[in-house]
Amino acid sequence: MDSTSSTIDDEIAVDLTPVLKLYKSGRVQRLAGTEVLPPSLDPTTNVESKDVIISKEHDISARLFIPKTNYPPTQKLPLLVYIHGGAFCIETPFSPNYHNYLNSVTSLANVIGVSVHYRRAPEHPIPTAHEDSWLALKWVASHVGGNGSDEWLNQYADFEKVFLGGDSAGANIAHYLGIRVGKEKLDGVNLEGIFYVHPYFWGEDRIGSESNQAEYVGKVHNLWRFACPTTSGSDDPLINPAKDPNLGSLGCKRVLVCVAEQDLLKDRGWYYKELLEKNGWDGVVEVIETEDENHVFHMFKPTCEKAKILLNQVVSFIKGA
């Protein structure tokens, strides 16, 4: 019996290397994004972080970041709610790359950061990640009157200057949150802007250079169906903004889309700008393209020159420069 069970446990049902493997037994083996760092006072950026529970029942939490160079701040600080990437399946706010990225952004932009820990596929298929992130954003908004559960947000957050941001799958979720803010509103919260780094949008019909990369196109289709088994396909409004009748309701006035020249998803980022402009959204959207780089290169090579430039572009966007 033991040998049979071990055989089943070793049989792969779905192989999504380099992201994860799902075994026939139901076991999930994440191949990346499993390393974690504790919250800390970072000596390089002088940013302090701490972990807070948003919903114990649903295992939703966040890592909060606050600059300590001028502390306590003499005026309230803008607030960045950040959604991490990882194909909806891997990574956390506690991963070294995301922890360090939030340290850098909050330090340079002088903002409070809230990095959301949502439940991931395949154990919790989409739209769980999106719903969890909305719950986290509502938790953030519960601090508007200064009576929330977290003192940093109660005392130091400027809810007139709230930003959303995310990379890859996290950018997809940030877009979803922006639409919900536009449709449902959050009392006392002014969503100033959203930035998307290499957003994970897709569609059934090929656009731009996608036709030249058949192998990767199939992988993107399969990844989406794996993370969202109940989906209607790659024209599901959750993955294809062109199919979302609410796109013009995006709840902010400024959007920054960052794309990478070698990224298969690049054309979707450019297309998003076009879609916003022709769907009645009355804000300003800018696209910035990084030459010779691929998908989320800044997470794999955070100290390279182009990653530093991209970081500064995001910081400038938050600062309104």
| 158 counts as catalytic | no
Q: Is 144 helix (H, G, I), strand (E, B) or coil?
A: coil
Per-domain boundaries in the chain: 1-31, 36-319
pLDDT at residue 64, as a whole number? 98
- State the catalytic residue, choosing from 42, 167, 244, 263: 263
Low-confidence ranges of the chain (pLDDT < 50): 1, 3
pLDDT at residue 8, as a whole number? 67
- State the catalytic residue, choosing from 95, 104, 168, 234: 168
CA distance 248 to 179: 8
DSSP for 10-63, written as a single string: HSEEEEETTTEEEETTS-EEE-SS-------EETTTTEEEEEEEEETTTTEEEE
pLDDT at residue 215, as a whole number? 85
| 28-30 and 20-23 strand pairing | antiparallel
pLDDT at residue 33, as a whole number? 96
Q: Which residue type occupies 163? A: F
* E strand or H helix that includes residue 286: strand 284-290
Residues 318, 111 contacting (CB under 8 angstroms): yes
pLDDT in tens, 146-155: 999 999 999 9
Cβ count near 165 (within 10 Å) = 26
pLDDT at residue 1, as a whole number? 43
| Helix count and strand count (H, E) for the chain | 9, 12
pLDDT at residue 180, as a whole number? 98
CA distance 188 to 146: 11
Residue 140: C-alpha distances to residues 62, 136, 196 (Å): 10, 6, 20
Residues 173, 83 contacting (CB under 8 angstroms): yes
| 168 counts as catalytic | yes
| 234 counts as catalytic | no
Q: Which residue type occupies 265? A: L
- State the catalytic residue, choosing from 99, 124, 130, 295: 295
* Region of residue 167 (phi > 0: left; psi between -120 and 50: alpha; otherwise: beta): beta
pLDDT at residue 182, as a whole number? 98
Task: Specify the CATH superfamily of domain 36-319.
Answer: Alpha/Beta hydrolase fold, catalytic domain (3.40.50.1820)
